[in-house]
Structure 1
Amino acid sequence: MDFIELRVTAPADLADILIAELGQLSFDTFEENEQGFCAYTTEDAFDKEATQAIIDKYQHWPEGMPTAESRVITRQNWNTEWEKNFEPLVIGEKVSVRAPFHEARPDLPYDIVIMPRMSFGTGHHNTTALMIENQLTVDHQGKRVLDMGCGTGILAIMAVHLGASHVLAVDVEPWTAENAADNAQENNVQDKVEARLGDITALEGEAPFDLILANINRNVLLDDMAAYYRYLQPGGPIIFSGFYEEDLHLIREAAEREGFRYQSHRVQNHWVSAIFTKPE
């Protein structure tokens, strides 16, 4: 299967908005750069008209109008594409996120090696970094964890580094589930991370989890909120991300309607990660 790269040029504040809107389509991988960003989706899922409609909507943006060009990238050339742009990253002054060809950071307590295979979540996007920062504040020791919308598996790997006993990592895209499994093995946590293909229905028959990580998008979070409540142990935390700051009130209203209690949230470039808990 081949992929579409959408190369967008836009002012920084508009780029964040465009990423949020394109994330509501089929785009699930984003790499930001000085000119704007690149967004990726599969060729069969690419809706050219809907994508152009989003770009056209902001043609009168005060700081400058956006432009977008698309091209096809064959699957075998994907590694070449991200290797050109993937720089090592430090999150929360504690977590090193790098590719196998980068040097390790022994001065940091946590080291995560990621090989993205057209999967969202290298840590460079604000939502992934925010999720990890929130993970650092939550007790994972001996916990059974669910990672919904796992992407590269970076959050599942982080969970094991923080002491989780088992992580179920779920994603709707076949290559993403494969990538999460590969990255778990790359980080020597394959015995504690199970990668599974599917959506929320893939959890049928599962016992409630001690902790849930859900970095997806606003619409999926809203649609699956009741299921998250059902699959979380009383007293357990759930960490959300994948939505824009202006949508926090929608997530909070839906979560509290199910019974979750709001705890805190972080913001980075208008993106949000929020922590809620299920009452005892």
Structure 2
Amino acid sequence: MNKFFKKLICVSFIFFYFFKIEQVESIVPYYYFPTKNNLEREGLSIGKNAYQLLYFGQFEQGLNLAKLAVKINNTDEKLWLILSEAQLVNNLYKNALISLNKAQKINPKNSETYILQSNIYLKISKLQNAKTALKTALRIESNNYKAIFQLGNILLMENNYAEAIKLFDKSVKIKPDFWQAINNQGLAYFEKNNINLSIKLFEKAISIEDNAEPLLGLASCLRMKDIKLALQLAKKALNKDPNYVNYDYRKEQLWGEKLQASTEILLQNDQLQTDVILAKSKINASS
């Protein structure tokens, strides 16, 4: 009797065990394991979303998404490039350089990775490293106007105005609507005391893009020639981008000492004080 009950209990347990498994299998679907192509597509999709967040100034969220994209697919240099940009805007310069190194190992012929590398080196004041990165980019793609422009910026920082102007001119010949290069030619010519040519270049840049930088640059040029127009342009510039009220910010944009001095005098004009105060308050509110 004892043995019979033991056998009965054992059989019941086995039956119950298999019955439960069948129940579970009938309820829970089989796991789907994504293919390599699906993972690559998912990584790229997340990478694009990360880039959009960076574009709209959501730097921390963009960084988190970029990290996730690379975890999903670590064989695409574009995703490492996006991660590096996210790290750059979050001031993680060392990490950004490591990410770029990963991208360059995957594809050493992508000129964009070397241009971004130069930007990072500029952030940490390593001009020679930045130059080397740009020259590598130009060996890969000799007509890359962004690399030519950035090399011109480094020469502008070194006060080598004549050579900087040549490079800015070369980049504009490749991309005629590249207003940033036209604007920076204006910056360089002002330091060379060619104010009339600076005026023409700032006006040309404005005709392409009604941006605060050439607007204020032109205002500073016109300070001694047409103060009424200069004040109008300065008001418009500060309204568009209040950061240009700040000396250090303009220096970051590579404004030379002569243009800085002229701008400081202009911003001290009594008729601009309301605009200057408002611009400074906007900067303080956003910081």
Pick the structure with more strand per residue: 1
Q: TM-score, normalised by structure 1?
A: 0.29
Q: TM-score, normalised by structure 2?
A: 0.28
Pick the structure with more helix per residue: 2
Which is higher, the Rg of structure 1 or of structure 2?
2
